[in-house]
Structure 1
Amino acid sequence: MAFSPAQTSRLPLKPADERQQIEAAEITQFMGETGILSQRLPGYEYRVQQLQMAEAITESFNQSHHLLVEAGTGTGKSLAYLLPAVLWSVRNNRHVVISTNTINLQEQLIYKDIPLLRSMPGMEFDATVLKGRGNYLCPRRLTTIRRRRPTSVQELKTLAKILVWLLESNTGDKSEISLRGPVENTVWHRLSAEDEDCTLHRCQAAMQGACPFFKARKAAEAAHVLVVNHALLISDAMSGNSVLPDYQYLIVDEAHQLEEAVTNGLTFHLDQSALLRRIADLGGPNRGLLGEILLNVRGLIPDKELNRLEVFIQTIDEATTLMRSHVEAFFKQVLVFLKDVHNFRASDYTTFMRVVAAHREKSSFAQLQNLWTNLSEYFEVIGGAMLRLTIAFNKLREFNFPGYDDFIASTEMTARYLEEIRTHLHQFSVEPNPDMIYWLSMGNGQNELPTIHTAPLHIGPLVEEYLWHKKESVVLTSATLRTGDNFSYMAERLYADQVPAREVGSPFNYEESTLIYIPNDIPEPADKQGYQRAVERGIIELAAALNGRVLVLFTSYAQLRQTAQAIIPRLALGGITVYDQSDGTSRQALVDGFKSNEKSVLLGTRSFWEGVDIPGDTLSALVITRLPFAVPTDPVFAARSETYSDAFNDFAVPDAILRFRQGFGRLIRTRSDRGVVAIFDSRVVHKSYGMTFMESLPECTVKYGGLDGLAGAAADWLK
């Protein structure tokens, strides 16, 4: 049965008065050696690890306990948590939320695993996917931007593209339209149902059923199983369930990515153009939001009330007009400060600079603070006038003029968002919050100005407050939650020290299926030229011996590009195609090309270390070029490192081990797979921490030898 969202015509779930537990025998009935799945699903393999995981989650739900569970590759963990989730939800008429980090896993659940369970006898349930507000088109915003007219030809073209798409789409979901480049994505942002300007509770489009987000939200209220992503999960919990219906049972898959996903979701970004656009959207007596208000109320309210609104709007208009030059001066000084501290040079890459206490002693930063003092006065004037405007507006409900609810909600939301901007800029400039991280980024454009970023220093307290303390049962699962033989690192990062943890292993026999080959003569990465030559030579010889079928994982785009340029002409002589990220091709397109071309090599960086599933002979060898340590100068990583007394061993190494294990997991995807992992980083042998990386992997056949022996060893292993 194909997946379809829960129908909005269904009534919201009404929780049962008394909770009913799930018996372990019910799980066995489905997943046991002779269970329903074995009988009805061709090719289904009974896995004791899958059954153990499902039973552990069932017990957690029954007892209202939390759980960390690591399930190795091949466990079939998605079905292991979906089955108890569905049984529990249907029996108790309660929502169970499942959160993922990647679109690939979300689509697997929606289009494969959920329909599979639905096809089983007695498994009647509703499921839907709910995305963040920014993924849904807002009809009210669309009407507004059409009425105010696009400000550029590019914006007009994007708007036309979206309008044509809407003739065919009945979901208003961004994933159904291809938007590329900053202009198209900026236009979408202005059209989406983002929090700061969504008026769902009193929006006319929502009430009339035209709002895509409203329809998705109504479907969620009637669904037993809700599939969401990590960023939405925490942001919604922090906002008091403004998107998700109330729930108490949660399963977080890909939980090793929870901290990063939540960090990204809570990171604030602001550049000059975004701030000026916000100010321009306010408008004045004859334009923008404020102009529309006057246009709609004129002739419908008493002159006295109209004059009062006009005074407030005139104040805002004058302030925003004068404010523009102060915004430009402020961001120009941010650039001066960046160059003063960072010795900035134009390059092909985005530059990042964390702002720390020592930087704030610079005279260039003192000048920035002075400019902020001037700019902040305009924020205060506008904020005060917006507040008075809102109060005055609230008194006009009796006159029932067109769009009243939308206008008052828009003014409230705009005022709130401008106050959020003011708070972040004030903290950045004058009163830094010790629990926040501040940094600047700078692209390579000729007239580029910096972007200001802020992010929370710690995610653990948020997970503790909004998940561990508020939900009855939370299950975190992944193939990689442990570093070494314990869960201590992940438990420390996510404040899960008191949460029971379980490891159910993998059904794969890695000792028979996987050869790990470690060249003992490869130079260390610190010897850049020697190391790079060895990497290129190793890839060429391995790919030639196996006729392609090699995935190479890098930790930097720069090395990937350099390697691609060196090996492409050499491998082309043997008819081997190289797919790489250097030209901006999407990950999925590269993977599809690799799968369809038997004689090919795939070069990937960070996004390829996880979520890539290439079973069978298409992928026979995996090359890990370097241990995947985080970039030490990354602002978030650097700030969090400072919270440790031994940051390298207690933070950098465990963080890299989780990524290393994810990368290793790309090779063996089924019981019949067989392959070779080549590790081109001699630190696993020569450094004291190297053994920690090796011990984090399952028991494999390991061989040490010269780089020139790799190709032969791989060919022999795969015979």
Structure 2
Amino acid sequence: MPPAPATPRLLLPEAPALVAGIRRATLLTPEGEIESLSASDLARRLPDLPPPLLVHAPATARRLGLPPFPVAFDLLELFAFAMPAQPAAPTPRGLALALELDPPKDDEAAAILLPEIATTLLRHLATTRHALPNRDAAQLTARLRDAADWPWAASVLAALGQPDPHASADALKVWRRLPDWEETAPPTPPASIPIAPLEARKRLAEILGADAETRPAQADYASAASLAFAPREVEGQPALVLAEAGTGTGKTLGYIAPASLWAERNGAPVWISTYTRNLQRQIDQELHRLYPDPEDRRRHVVIRKGRENYLCLLNHEEAVSGAMPSRLLALSLVSRWAFATRDGDMQGGDFPGWIAELFPWGHVAGLTDRRGECIHSACPHWRRCFVEHSIRRARTARLVIANHALVMVQAALGGGEDKPALRYVFDEGHHLFDAADSAFSAEISGGEMAELRRWLLGAEGSRGRARGLRRRLEETTTDHPALLPLVEEALRHAGSLPGPGWGSRLGAPEERAPHEEEEDPRPGIPTATNPAEAFLRTVITQVLARSAEADTGYDAECDLHPLNPGVAESGAALEDALGRIETPLRALHARLTGLLEDPDAELETGDRIRLDTARRVVDRRGLCPLGAWRAMLQALAARPPEPGTRPAHVDWLALTRREGRVIDAALHRHFLDPTEPFAAAVAAPSHGLLITSATLRDSGEPDGEAAWEEAEARTGANHLPSPAIRAAVPSPFNYPDQTLAIVVTDVSREGSQAAMAMEQLFRASGGGALGLFTAIRRLRDAHVRMAPGLEAAGLPLYAQHVDAMDNATLVDVFRAEEDSCLLGTDALRDGVDVPGRSLRLLVFDRIPWPRPTILHRERRTHLSGGRPKAYDDAIARHRLRQAFGRLVRRADDRGVFVLLDARAPTRLLAGLPEGVPVRRMGLAEAVRETRSFLEDQFPVGAPRGD
């Protein structure tokens, strides 16, 4: 009989509280003394001190330039254990805000706050110890104490009132406690009742509430958006609305109003699609206004992403069953989160991205299905699977928040797990071209072919759950043995794909492939070689010979035509080898279809599900890529296109380098205009769609009609038979008063001057600064130069591609730490919402011209309407305008926009909001103007607001 629970008590560790700067630290000793130490002084003191109390041990060590802490009381571990699936930025201020404590104003205040954060978290555990998620928390903690020496174990057990429970790993097995999904009757056919503009305005007013500020532009926008929900009159001609809504209009609630009303009336979901995960999360947060009750919101709103975003319970089970003690804590925190999560999304959902950062790489990586190895109904956790839950919930939801990638990939594959939507809202519509370009493209690379081989043959000796096709279909082939010879035939030829260690052989002489024993009778083709690796070598030879890129630190590319000797021949050999894999897979797919459609077969439900899953997997993972690759390789033998003719596709060769070494090569194929397949596969089958953005049109285009036509071309609207309804609602913000735009004229683009200038500007703003770079290498170099000086000024610097944080975590930290600075690239230019004081300065290192690639060259030639320079200008203007839009997110924001590129042409700056003058000046004056402009609203050194 287990001992009776004791009274909960607070047991804080006797640990010094440590807050790190760059090469400096603030220490609160157990005796209550505050010390400021250099990193070297701290390093000498640490061996004589107890393990420190801190936030984010790996980041703390990196900032101090110290080796990893052997033991530390990391408050992030305690937070993730005590409050799973709760958001928090991984800094002392971020945790304070999440726990509704007064945020610290400086490092000294942060060090003093750390024990209070620990106390708050332990009290939370004590008060919730009887709640369902914590019923076995003590047994799990005892397991962590005994097997992993978790520093927090004694404090957690004391808070739970169970100082010496029986250790158990059952709490790790979270799949046992998750609910099953249940099938429901098919939904009834949706109606086609329209939404009148006045009804959309009324619904918007209901969502906002009686006390909301009157925003006529938002109501006008909702009226325009309602027209996308008109009944379709002709097949293939959806109701299409292009709506540009200036920043601050409130477009999210503006389109949610008619979308939610249409879904309620007509009994079908509206799919809201975004380009970035950040906006997905923002839309979900906005919906609390429409559905304030969390359970109501869960029933009516579903977030859908690709399968690779979700925790795979089978991966988690296999990781838990063989977990080494060093990995136990990471898996325990994932298990705690999995029981509390809303939908199991580990990429931008409620999974704290910083959990993975606390542990060595691989402790959390691999828990999602990134390799497409899902075995669907053959999985023992299929009925509890997070993905399967979301798919089924989406069928009966009112609003499905998806992303462009999922919507288009499913269309590219001819359907998908989700049923096709009748109504779409594409937010961030200016990115439709790029999203379609990614979804409707193909590449034959070593990595892609090796993944296919792995899917066919399994891991071939390496660790991981890559069972191969034979094991994946083992149960099916046992029940239907006639299928097995087809599987074996496909596997017999899988050795023609790149084998283990293929990357190290790319530059080596052709070798005999261990799985390929067949002779190729055609002249000029070496026998007994691996056709895939041989083809990759000929690609590398042509790229190295033709590429203009001399720097071996960069990737390189070249035109496909004229072909080098050997490329066509090696391509033909590979195409033939791929055909030998495809033929039995196609026969297998046909046999599976025949079994499912046989009217005389009396299949049990489980057998039918297994057969259908096998058929779908063979099609998606095998036949789809093989068909695309063979078509591309067959085209190598075709006559090259005449120079100057407009192609349907753009093909080119490329190689990928890492640290000066070639690690992969590829043949690429993209649609010249990817909005054509988007219009055909996504837009035309729908009944209505709204495409919206703050930057649909090129505001620098003097001809208004031409600006709309360019927007229609970039969104695919020009490929639909019916004209789009156009709507534009201006921003309510007073940009001339709220912003300052500067071009610095005396800073060289080369060397370290840009980093020096950016640092001076960041100091002038007192932080709250975002620096954007057009190249990762320059970003990293700038971080090295800027970090010490900014840290000395009390302005912490974070950076994409430097800090071990994902983009969402970086933005969370930047938002929480109001005087911090952040460096990033394109991914931080769009879809980032940082209102208020946290973002008050934005600096571009140079004009964000489009990258001069072969693909861009062809599009510039054929899609520019004979105005190639204008095509480049429009892209750069869009990027500048998108970045400028980050500065002002609400009526009381102020911000400075700086471009460190003296060569910036005035025509590009015409894309900034109307009435904003762009001033050209030297760096010293720009620093003074920045400081003066921001001191009016955000005095440097003033107390931080919440």
Q: Which of the five TM-score ranges fits, normalised by the shorter chain?
A: 0.7 to 0.9
- Kept in 2: contact 1:524–1:683 (CA 8 A): no
Q: Which stretch of structure 1 is more off in the superposition, 255-264 or 315-324?
A: 315-324
- 2:590 is aligned with 1:370: no
1:638-657 matched pairs, under 5 angstroms: 638-643=857-862, 644=864, 646=866, 648-657=868-877
Partners of 1:138 and 1:192 within 8 A in 2? no
Q: Match of 1:228, as an amino acid?
A: A
Residue in structure 2 matched with residue 548 of structure 1 by the alignment:
767
Which residue is equivalent to 2:7?
none
CA contact (8 A) 1:220 1:245 kept: no
Correspondence for 2:915 among 699, 702, 711? 699
**Distance verdict in 2 for CA 1:156–1:468, change over 3 Å:** farther
- Give the equivalent residue in structure 1 for 2:689: 474
Does the 8 Å CA contact 1:352/1:440 hold for their aligned counterparts? yes
Give the alignment partner of residue 68 of structure 1, picking from 242, 258, 261.
Answer: 242
Identify, as 1 or 2, the structure richer in helix. 1
Please say if 1:571 is aligned against 2:779: no
Which residues in structure 2 correspond to 1:166-245 (within 5 Å)? Answer: 169=338, 171-175=343-347, 176=351, 188-189=368-369, 192=372, 203=377, 209-245=383-419
SS at structure 1 position matched to 2:407: helix
How far 1:87 sits from its partner (Å)? 1.2
Q: State the alpha-carbon separation in 2 of the partners of residues 187 and 138 from structure 1.
A: 6
Which secondary structure state, in structure 1, belongs to the residue aligned with residue 223 of structure 2? helix
1:667 alignment partner, SS class: coil
Tell me the distance in 1 between the aligned counterparts of 2:352 and 2:820: 30
Work out the CA distance in 2 between the residues paired with 1:631 and 1:468.
Answer: 29
- Determine what percentage of the aligned residue pairs are the same residue: 23
CA RMSD of aligned residues (A): 4.2
Which one of 578, 583, 590 corresponds to residue 384 of structure 1?
A: 583
Judge conservation of contact 2:245–2:693 (CA < 8 Å) in 1: yes
State the partner residue of 2:649: 436
Counterpart position of 1:492 = 713
> Which one of 15, 34, 49 corresponds to residue 217 of structure 2?
49
The match for 1:332 is: 537
In structure 2, C-alpha distance between the alignment counterparts of 1:158 and 1:396, rounded to whole Å = 45
Larger radius of gyration: 2
- The equivalent position to 2:735 in structure 1, one of 510, 518, 531, is 510
Shift of the 578–279 alpha-carbon distance from structure 1 to 2, 3 Å rule, reads closer
**Bigger Cα displacement from structure 2, 367-376 vs 401-410:** 401-410
- Among 896, 916, 923, the alignment partner of 1:676 is 896
Q: Look up the equivalent residue of 2:776 and give its one-letter code.
A: Y
**Inter-partner Cα distance in structure 2 for 1:6 and 1:628:** 49
Q: 2:208 aligns with which of 31, 34, 37?
A: 37
CA distance in 2, matches of 1:212, 1:670: 36
1:290 aligns with 2:470: yes
Residue type matched to 1:382 in 2? I
Is 1:667 the counterpart of 2:909? The answer is no
Q: Which amino acid aligns with 2:932?
A: D
Task: Work out the CA distance in 2 between the residues paired with 1:582 and 1:502.
Answer: 39
How far off is 1:102 after superposition? Answer: 1.1
1:318, CA displacement in angstroms? 3.8
Q: Distance in 2 between matches of 1:452 and 1:23?
A: 50
Aligned-pair CA distance for 1:373: 2.7
Are 1:70 and 1:503, in contact at CA under 8 Å, matched by a contact in 2?
yes
Residues 379 and 422 of structure 1 are in contact (CA less than 8 Å); yes or no, is this contact kept in structure 2? yes
Query: Which residue number in structure 2 is paired with residue 463 of structure 1?
Result: 678
- Residue matched to 2:430: 256
Residues 248 and 471, structure 1, Cα contact 8 Å, conserved in 2: yes
SS of the residue aligned with 1:466? helix
Structure 1 389/25 Cα, relative in aligned 2: closer, same or farther at 3 Å?
A: closer
Q: Distance in 2 between matches of 1:207 and 1:711?
A: 59
Equivalent pair of 1:166/1:172 in contact (CA under 8 Å): no
Report the residue type matching 2:494 in the other structure: T
CA distance in 1, matches of 2:454, 2:580: 16
**8 Å contact kept, 2:779–2:823:** yes
Give the secondary-structure state (helix, strand or coil) at the position aligned to 2:273.
strand
Change in 2 beyond 3 A, CA 1:186/1:116: same
SS in 2 for 1:247: coil
Which residue does the alignment assign to 1:613?
A: 833
Q: Cα 1:328–1:237, aligned 2, differ >3 Å: closer, same or farther?
A: closer
**After alignment, is 549-558 or 655-664 more displaced?**
549-558
**2:193 counterpart residue number:** 20
Amino acid at match of 2:717: A
Relative contact order higher in (CA < 8 Å, ≥ 6 apart): 1
Displacement, 1:77?
A: 0.8
For residues 329-385 of structure 1, the C-alpha deviation after alignment (integer angstroms, 9 at most, x for no partner) is 332333333322227767444x14143323x2x22xxx1332233333333333333
Aligned counterpart, 2:290: 117
Q: Offset at 1:677?
A: 1.8
1-structure distance, mates of 2:324, 2:577: 29
The answer to whether the Cα contact below 8 Å between 1:281 and 1:289 also exists between their aligned partners in 2 is yes
Q: Is the 8 A contact 2:430 2:714 kept in 1?
A: no
SS at match of 1:626: coil
Opposite residue 74 of structure 1, the aligned amino acid is: G
For 2:332 and 2:593, how far apart are their aligned partners in 1?
Answer: 34
Query: How far apart, in 2, do the equivalents of 1:108 and 1:704 lie?
Result: 36
**Where do 5+ consecutive residues of structure 1 fail to align?**
none
Q: Deviations over 1:619-653 (max 9, x none)?
A: 322223322111112x4323322313545334211
TM-score (ref. length: structure 1) = 0.81
Residue in structure 2 matching 1:320, options 494, 505, 524: 494
Report the residue type matching 1:444 in the other structure.
Answer: R
Cα 1:429/1:159, change in 2 over 3 Å = farther
Q: Secondary structure at the match of 1:115?
A: coil
1:417 Cα deviation after fit = 4.1
- Cα offset, 1:582, TM superposition: 4.7
With structure 2 as the length reference, what TM-score do the two structures score? 0.63
Distance in 1 between residues matched to 2:207 and 2:593, nearest whole Å: 60
Alpha-carbon distance in structure 2 between the residues aligned to 1:243 and 1:283: 25
Given the superposition, is the C-alpha separation of residues 59 and 378 from structure 1 closer, same or farther in structure 2, using an over 3 Å criterion?
A: closer
**Count of aligned positions:** 673
* 2:338 alignment partner, SS class: coil
Structure 1 residues 480-520: Cα deviation after superposition (integer angstroms, max 9, x where no partner): 1111253222212223242121110111111211122233x
1:626 to 846, 851, 863: 846
**1:581 aligned partner:** 800
The 3 A distance-change label for structure 1 pair 63 and 373 is closer
